[in-house]
Amino acid sequence: MTLGLTGTGCDGAEERDGGAPDAGARDGGVVDASAVDAGPLDASAPGGPGHVTYHLDGHAYRIAAQAGAVPEDLSASLDSFEVVAGEDGAATLSSDGAWLALLSERFDAECDGWACLFRVSSDLSSVELVGAAGAAVHPDGFFVIAPGGDLVVYAGTDGPHPRDLFVVRRVAGSWSAPVLLTGSSSQQIHDFPDLRGDGATVVFDCGPDTGDDRGLCEVGIDGTGFREVLMPSHLPPGESDPALQLHHPHYAADGAIVFEGEWGTERIWRLDPGAAEPTLLTDAFGNDNSPCILPNGDIASLWLGRPENPPGYHELKVMSADGTAYEMLVTGVDVDDWGLGCGP
């Protein structure tokens, strides 16, 4: 059974985050609203519309970005489309809210035991295999789907590097063959892509191998203009040691890049357009991972450091764009750190 994300999204939880929690403590992603708390900050919680997708125990979920919301089990809702038994992987949301990209073994015989990428309508009424002329896309990493649902960028192993980024387009109802985006990269691993709002560029993890030492890189959607945006050897003011990794970059509406930076501990940082130095959003949250940005600018992430979370679960949090207010969305379960999706 291969879901295509093994080894690509973990943050070394066993070594740095208090160890792996007991899987028996998981409840399938449905959280009792009474267990959701406001956390240690004395601030009003952020508001506004939006949803977050996450993965837990072989199921993909979607939840409204407000405390007390009940997670929607996307996988269970899509059971009627199942062709072969299997599991679902991660899901991401298009920025217009109309589409999801979903990794799954279930909806085509070609995906049995080797997960494929599917385009799913937001109302869950349609499921379509992504792939040209019957050649399914089998990602080996994360992926992002553009507004309109007709463009997908994903990480795969069919390029000149161990893991590259590719783009596929849907034209007149058919998917194109994959086009390599990272062929000119000096790095070996490329993963966790995100599309800028205008669709012109992709920001992503990049590094020499599948372990740490990840930095942030960017390339045009046509494969030109590759550049290293920020690498772990860079020292922001006040930091004395290089970062172990920079991870999970996402574009804000103004073109800034929000990301997980591990200078000492995993925290959420922001690199403004044209800036040479990133800015730490808040030092209130250590072991804060895998951010994505909601339509109103709020930031969803997986936080392991809540005082009421002694096992160190990856719990789903949403905070304001400046980090001064937050709410917990999913607590008491260990969300898989494969990447989050944010959208309307």
Mean pLDDT in consecutive groups of 10 residues from the start of the chain, 344 residues: 45 34 35 39 50 98 95 99 98 98 98 98 98 90 98 98 98 96 98 98 93 92 98 92 94 98 96 97 96 97 98 98 96 97 97
φ/ψ of residue 23, rounded to 5: -60, -25
- Nearest alpha carbon to residue 312 among 3, 2, 114, 20: 20
Pairing of strands 151-156, 164-171: antiparallel
Cα gap 9→2, rounded to integer Å: 15
Question: Whose CA is closest to 27, among 343, 301, 313?
Answer: 313
The pLDDT score that the predictor gives to residue 223 is 98
Half-sphere exposure of 87 (CA within 13 A, CB side): 14
Predicted local confidence at residue 268, as pLDDT: 98
Q: What is the pLDDT of residue 67?
A: 87
CATH H-level, domain 48-343: superfamily: TolB, C-terminal domain (2.120.10.30)
Closest CA to 111 of 90, 92, 132, 83: 83
Q: pTM higher than 0.85 for the full model?
A: yes
